[in-house]
Structure 1
Amino acid sequence: MRQAGRYLPEFRAIRVENDFFNVCRTPELATEVTLQPIRRYPELLDAAIIFSDILVIPQAMGMQVEMVPGKGPHLPEPLREPRDLARLTDQRKGFSVGRELDYVYKAITNTRHALAGRVPLLGFVGAPWTLMAYMVEGGGSKTFAEAKAWLFRCPQAAHELLRRIAAVAAEFLVGQVHAGAQALQVFESWAGELSPRDFAEFSLPYLRQIAAHVKQRCPDVPLTVFAKGAHYALEQLATETAFDVISIDWTIDPAAARIRVDRALRSAGSARRVVLQGNLDPTLLFADEDTLRRRTAEMCASFGATGHIANLGHGMMPAHDPERLRVFLQTVHSASRALR
């Protein structure tokens, strides 16, 4: 969850002379940034997350993406009408995921060598609905009115776009494994903008498609889904997809999530285990140290003794004090020992 980034002074020093996407597209820089939190928090992080961005997929498909200081991602020529789909490149036009996103693969391979086995390396992609929302809106949005209007006004074109994105995302993930990634995560960051019915139609099928493709090609690689705000879909994600891990945000109690997931698996007659990940509210890193320690320990206890992946419920923020993250990590390790 933004393990590296603007909260770290060493990252900001690199950004002084480098555009955000230049860091992403330069394997040596991406490797250096990925290693920064591993160096800063030795023995406290259990994995490194490759430094990249979910919007490298729209870039690879032919869209211009800029990272505007103080604003975030900006796509100056968004997809406003279904006919705009003709502007996108895909496999039918000689598009190659490996060629367009080779710089990510090189960064993963470089980083895997640089880590030298200290911790595993995670890769990731953005999920189709989330990427579609950016591609249609032209950036972030408070209402996602343009993107959601596509779903209801021209569902056929929306599904076509979602299918194209899903195909690229699935192949991209497999390529990341071949490059050296040891676990993968799919970020459906805007899942909570959809109703349960619309999630079932416009998000879930493509998450299912991506997970099935990756598991067919890389069956032993752990696969995580983070559908932020989609608590209503816990059971579907557990029983209707091949994800090994479901990451939850801070707006659901972990104990309740555990009960619901286990009950759904039993009802479906499934013997597989689904791990939960999460879910501390990131703004708790602004609290005093005693409050942060107490709430982190409570979070770990709430997941129970069956095991979970401790994480924030969303990403680090630029104003976070790096030392508050150290407190969080140290508390997780203490809680883990206490639960054994």
Structure 2
Amino acid sequence: MVPPTATAMPVFLSAAPPPFSTRRRRSRLPAISASLSPSPSSSEEPLLVRAARGEDGLPRPPAWMMRQAGRYMAEYQALAKRHPSFRERSENTDLIVEITLQPWRAFAPDGVILFSDILTPLPAIGVPFDISDSKGPVIQSPVRSEGQVRELVPIDLDMLQFVGESLKILRNEVVLVSLHFYATESLVPIDGKAALLGFVGAPWTIATYIVEGGMTNTYTNIKNMCHTAPDVLRCLLSHLAEAISDYIIYQVNSGAQCIQIFDSWGGQLPPHVWEQWSKPYIKKIVNRIKKECPHVPLVLYINGNGGLLERMKDTRVDVIGLDWTVDMADGRKRLGNGISVQGNVDPAFLFSPLPVLTDEIRRSYDINIIVTSVPKIQSDRPSFLLLSLLLLLITNRLLGKQFIFSWPAVSPNLTLVQLTEAAIEFLLSVI
């Protein structure tokens, strides 16, 4: 994934489920394909969706990766060589589906998030853009005047059919096979459903690109507009809030079961300024989605959100993502009850030796690795991370206590199959 959208990797939603079921089940269930039912019953829904809603009684927290596809995967690198344009990779249905499924096939997380970009809908509202390998997104005609804002059009969803088509295909193809421990001597895969996630950028974050003309370290133009042209900026943000709401509903109608809202650059604002210039427009989106798609949970993530947590909760989203600068216990205390959280491991740990990564996995069940680009991460690390955490969760739920989890010496180049074999051997040795 290119730098424009400050992406994220592994995410685990917090939950406090009861002890894991120990009833025996040795046969595999038939594969289940998700349907496009707009309001399925709770028991039919994927684990991630139920956790995002804060349901009780779940067997474990879900594990997934917000930007699962990327340059750390050899499969993605090979595909990118054949299709060097990021716009092509993110706007061609066949490529979107293939890239989205690559990490799911590799390590079967509980969620599959659409391969796309927060800027993808811009042409559909009248803002063309390009992506440069060296500069990231480039908007040739930044929108800074009242006249330019008035030239924006309601979102044309026909221009985004590749998104809808991709989601429909993915919804019918994604079937998760995850590891569950059902007996004292058997670790067996059970067929189930992974959640399909869509995502959007928050109005403020999208506006930073539109006003600045691309990436920026200073946000000078848009921050200046807050004081010199506040009415113009309000008009722009309102237009974006309406367009983004339409886009979310389109994603949901196409098969997305959960939506993440990225206010990637909201953390660049002082809390009281974010309260004025970002929060109201996120609330507009949330209020509309809660009204028209009440069954779809919403996740809000902001880079550097330590000073914004209480304000973020007031948006009425279902889940708040914490980055590695926020202590999980402190974040949980500040947010209180009635909302789920995800977070919060430094992405540098993906460069660590496996024993170090294991120690960090053990530190917390709830992990959210925030990273813009990680092309040099060894491809076994995400598999190791997800598998290790899943086994830790299962073991602790089964035994009803905090289990001290440690791995035997392992090679840094283990395949997922070898990791699975090592995990089973380890788990059987401690039960």
Shorter-chain TM-score bucket reads 0.7 to 0.9
Counterparts of 2:114 and 2:107, CA distance in 1: 16
| TM-score scaled by length of structure 2 | 0.70
Counterparts of 1:206 and 1:337, CA distance in 2: 40
**Counterpart for residue 247 of structure 1:** 321
How far off its partner does 1:339 sit?
Answer: 4.1
Which of the pair has the greater relative contact order for Cα pairs under 8 Å at 6+ separation?
A: 2
How far off its partner does 1:26 sit?
Answer: 1.2
Tell whether the 8 Å contact from 1:279 to 1:312 is kept in structure 2 after alignment.
yes
How far off its partner does 1:244 sit?
Answer: 0.7
Counterparts of 1:33 and 1:147, CA distance in 2: 34
Matched, 1:48 2:112: yes
How far off its partner does 1:314 sit?
Answer: 4.2
**Counterpart for residue 327 of structure 1:** 384
Where 1:176 maps in the other structure, the secondary structure is helix
Counterparts of 2:358 and 2:227, CA distance in 1: 45
**Counterpart for residue 65 of structure 1:** 129
Counterparts of 1:257 and 1:25, CA distance in 2: 37
Matched, 1:192 2:267: yes
1:89-114 deviation per Cα after TM superposition (whole angstroms, max 9, x unaligned):
22xxxx53x21222211110011112
* Amino acid of the structure 1 residue aligned with 2:218: T
Runs of 4+ in 1 over 6 A off after TM superposition: none
**Counterpart for residue 268 of structure 1:** none
Counterparts of 1:326 and 1:50, CA distance in 2: 19
**Counterpart for residue 337 of structure 1:** 394
Counterparts of 1:82 and 1:210, CA distance in 2: 23
Where 1:73 maps in the other structure, the secondary structure is strand
Tell whether the 8 Å contact from 1:282 to 1:316 is kept in structure 2 after alignment.
no
Matched, 1:17 2:82: yes
How far off its partner does 1:142 sit?
Answer: 1.1
**Counterpart for residue 342 of structure 2:** 277
Work out which of the residue numbers 88, 101, 116 in structure 2 matches 1:35. 101
Q: Which runs of 5+ in 2 are unaligned?
A: 1-65, 176-191, 398-431
Work out which of the residue numbers 113, 121, 140 in structure 1 matches 2:196. 121
Tell whether the 8 Å contact from 2:322 to 2:368 is kept in structure 1 after alignment.
no
Instruction: Considering fraction of residues, name the structure with more helix.
Output: 1
Q: Matched residue pairs, number?
A: 315
* Amino acid of the structure 2 residue aligned with 1:197: H
Where 1:280 maps in the other structure, the secondary structure is coil
Going from structure 1 to structure 2, the CA distance change for 1:283 and 1:233 (only over 3 Å counts) comes to same
Largest Rg, 1 or 2: 2
Where 2:308 maps in the other structure, the secondary structure is helix
1:241-291 deviation per Cα after TM superposition (whole angstroms, max 9, x unaligned):
2211001111110100000111xx5xxxxxxx2110111111211122111
**Counterpart for residue 23 of structure 2:** none
Tell whether the 8 Å contact from 1:3 to 1:316 is kept in structure 2 after alignment.
no
Counterparts of 1:339 and 1:252, CA distance in 2: 25
Where 1:56 maps in the other structure, the secondary structure is coil
**Counterpart for residue 303 of structure 1:** none
Q: How does 1:173-322 map to 2 (within 5 A)?
A: 173-238=248-313, 240-262=314-336, 273-300=338-365, 310-315=367-372, 317-322=374-379
Counterparts of 2:73 and 2:152, CA distance in 1: 35
Q: Among all aligned residue pairs of Structure 1 and Structure 2, give the percentage whose two residues are the same amino acid.
A: 34
1:298-325 deviation per Cα after TM superposition (whole angstroms, max 9, x unaligned):
132xxxxxxx5x4323455222222121
Where 1:101 maps in the other structure, the secondary structure is helix
Counterparts of 2:130 and 2:139, CA distance in 1: 6
Work out which of the residue numbers 45, 69, 72 in structure 2 matches 1:7. 72
**RMSD across aligned positions (CA):** 1.7
**Counterpart for residue 171 of structure 2:** 112
| TM-score scaled by length of structure 1 | 0.88
Work out which of the residue numbers 78, 92, 95 in structure 2 matches 1:26. 92
**Counterpart for residue 229 of structure 2:** 154
Tell whether the 8 Å contact from 1:223 to 1:243 is kept in structure 2 after alignment.
yes
Counterparts of 1:237 and 1:332, CA distance in 2: 28
Matched, 1:86 2:150: yes
Going from structure 1 to structure 2, the CA distance change for 1:328 and 1:245 (only over 3 Å counts) comes to same
Counterparts of 1:315 and 1:122, CA distance in 2: 19
Counterparts of 1:214 and 1:241, CA distance in 2: 12
Where 1:252 maps in the other structure, the secondary structure is coil
How far off its partner does 1:174 sit?
Answer: 1.1
**Counterpart for residue 28 of structure 2:** none
Counterparts of 1:133 and 1:223, CA distance in 2: 22
Where 1:243 maps in the other structure, the secondary structure is coil
Q: Which runs of 5+ in 1 are unaligned?
A: 266-272, 301-307
Where 1:186 maps in the other structure, the secondary structure is strand
* Amino acid of the structure 2 residue aligned with 1:40: A
